[in-house]
Structure 1
């Protein structure tokens, strides 16, 4: 092609997103509906949520207008509930979040379509609707019960993050003290049962040992619904190279997160330094909160936080491509589950900016289509095919009341 006719990065990105709209791995609108509106959404306008700012609480990151601007074609809505809840309460709350998500989808039938299969996703995209899937964030949502896990699948959940912030009776979290050196016997059976049904195993939030244990027993692709590369940002929520190197054999997809503190290493260190300064001030001035507040304000004035940008997110994608390959990268923004996205991608309207940045770095249209949704489509179809091959296999059973931390 003559140089004068060469497509610009903007044109390459636009063509890729038209052919393969973004399939985003994690959006926390459902917990926003719970926290802001007590799940009372009969009068909730999801077309434009910019008016949801309330005092110190920023406006929501997500609405139908901005999803369209962001070229989002499929969305995993997180039916997250707090891991601090007692597990029986967490099970109930998760069902309530599935309910509010389904009601949100039903209230917006011209723009959203409930999707339970890869075919559903493909159909919704072809109709110009956003395919709406549901993912559970944390195994506390099943209350130590494979029976509950199966019922959550029947209610429509299509992935489960094995842990959230808390280590469970059967799985170690990345950000809590380990108890099992990964997954125990029951935890490995959770993975097996999920894949027997066709539910995607999500390894965001779990410890490195748990990632390896899950891969050891997986016959279907796993996902990381919203994580980065630990070699670029050392946060334990990110994925180490030892795990990235196993994705080609597994077929899994790392859906890259946009959360600034997970993608910009300088910002992560700034946050840690600020926490250390706050702890120092509290030790110096016990019982004098005004002194602590004044000292922290002085520290803030002379230690401005670094700025995270779209380029930071692209750096993670570059590294994952280097270690795991182009076929194992996706997008998992974590919008409405963080204060803001990086500069240029503050909300869900910003995805095209990321794809322009990648095109500037030499990614082809075919590469960008894989990252936006084709890799995720392939992984889901392979997970469904694996489940179909296990159709005659009986469900895994455990006696009622058996301790799940027993080996």
Structure 2
């Protein structure tokens, strides 16, 4: 009996190692596609986007949650071809519908520059979509979800093949988008509201719509969204994955760590190299290999493929602009409206509106 008790710690260590080994074997062929990483925000803050600075070398950068060695240790990939060639690729997401300045033309331009998802709001309302601060009580509802123009933005995103991202939006906006979109949508970095009552998380009734539309929730690792406190751990993140799987199905679960966009991360998930530890925990909780591969990337690739399929059958672009009186009082071009005054003013205002598109990136 004494020998048996003495063996328990050794058996536990061996079991832990076997889950780690199994996780890494799976990840060798199915890499992580993280729905949200704010490394560009850090490069802007640290180097003002001067990427030729030797300190900005992604192979040696140490002040961030993300660099090339950490990405390789975490089996983070991007798209299938790049990973098969031993490279790390990244899709481009634009975080906040304010960055299109209520212009369908700018939306199309960003798509042609490589944008493949647009978060409909950030931490403020757009003239056509309400953000999560409305649910918190800090902002007033303006569109009560999506306005008529907001619905046209969604249709144009469907036509282009841009994934609709509902992280940061109000619940009413979530509901409108899930009901109106002809393709599945994503939450690029949100967790389960029932486990942490933070308004950035996804409530159960919305998770049901996620299930019904074959959409995707990519779990955020920010401690405040995981445990509603500054302290959280890897096991609690796994709890969110478990919960979304229970309510919406294993096909609805993904990973959106929010690395380099947050200040507090769970113990055990301090940077992007720690993904194998999380996958090992899921295997320990009896997730199947197929379910794990879905979480890693297959679920997002499924959504992306369906978004592109829908795009292929939608031909007619949206052309009706937002009504001028809905734009608010901020400085902007009047080009395209009958009240346009002069070429000089139009060009100056247009350049001013484009500057945030080129320079602004947002954490969280």
Secondary structure at 2:116 match in 1: strand
Shift of residue 401 of structure 1?
6.3
Check if 1:345 corresponds to 2:269.
yes
- Residue 48 of structure 1: aligned partner: 60
TM-score (norm 2): 0.81
- Could you say which residue in structure 1 is the equivalent of 2:318? 396
**Corresponding residue of 1:21:** 31
The 5-angstrom pairing of residues 279-294 of structure 1 reads: none
Cα-to-partner distance string for 1:355-376 (whole Å, 9 max, x where unaligned)? 1111111111111111000001
Match of 1:146 among 89, 98, 104: 104
Correspondence 1:153-302 to 2 at 5 A: 153-176=111-134, 177=139, 178-265=141-228, 267=229
Q: What CA distance in whole angstroms lies between the structure 1 residues aligned with 2:322 and 2:310?
A: 28
Unaligned runs of 5+ in 1: 51-58, 75-120, 268-304
- Per the alignment, in what secondary structure is the counterpart of residue 248 of structure 1? helix
Which residue of structure 1 lines up, in the alignment, with residue 72 of structure 2? 68
Distance 2:49 2:221 in 1: 26
The DSSP-based 3-state class of the residue aligned with 1:131 is coil
1:127 equivalent to 2:139? Answer no
Classify 1:400/1:260 alpha carbon distance in 2 versus 1 (closer, same or farther; 3 Å).
closer
**Distance in 2 separating the partners of 1:125 and 1:317:** 25
Is the alpha carbon distance of 1:247 and 1:187 closer, same or farther for their aligned partners in structure 2, counting shifts above 3 Å? same
Alignment partner of 2:33: what SS?
Answer: strand
- What CA distance in whole angstroms lies between the structure 1 residues aligned with 2:313 and 2:177? 19
Instruction: Check the 8 A contact 1:21/1:372 in 2, yes or no.
Output: yes
Equivalent position of 1:312 in the other structure: 236
Report the alpha carbon displacement of residue 398 of structure 1 after superposing the two structures with TM: 2.1
Report the counterpart of residue 287 of structure 2 in structure 1: 363
CA deviation digits over 1:126-168, x for unaligned, max 9? Answer: 1121121100000010001111101010111100000000011
Q: Give the TM-score of the pair, scaled to structure 1.
A: 0.73
Residue 39 of structure 1: which of 26, 40, 49 is its match?
49
Helix, strand or coil: the match of 2:28? Answer: helix
User: What is the CA-CA distance between 1:249 and the residue it aligns to?
Assistant: 2.5
What is the alpha-carbon distance in structure 2 between the residues aligned to residue 236 and residue 60 of structure 1?
Answer: 27
CA, structure 1 residues 400+262, in 2 after alignment: closer, same or farther (shift >3 Å)?
Answer: closer
SS in 1 for 2:175: helix
For residues 15-45 of structure 1, give each alpha carbon's deviation from its aligned partner in whole angstroms, at most 9, with x where no partner exists. 2212211000111111111111111111321
Report the CA distance between 1:9 and its aligned residue: 1.8
* CA deviation string 1:55-108 (max 9, x = no partner): xxxx2111000000111012xxxxxxxxxxxxxxxxxxxxxxxxxxxxxxxxxx
Partners in 2 of 1:123 and 1:18 — Cα distance?
Answer: 14
Closer, same or farther in 2 for the Cα pair 1:223/1:126, shift >3 Å? same
Give the 3-state SS of the residue equivalent to 2:152 in structure 1.
helix
CA distance in 2, matches of 1:10, 1:346: 17
C-alpha distance in 1, partners of 2:150/2:267? 39
Consecutive unaligned residues of structure 2, counting only runs of 5 or more, are 1-13, 329-364
Task: Report if the CA contact (8 A) 2:97-2:119 is conserved.
Answer: yes
Aligned residues, how many? 308
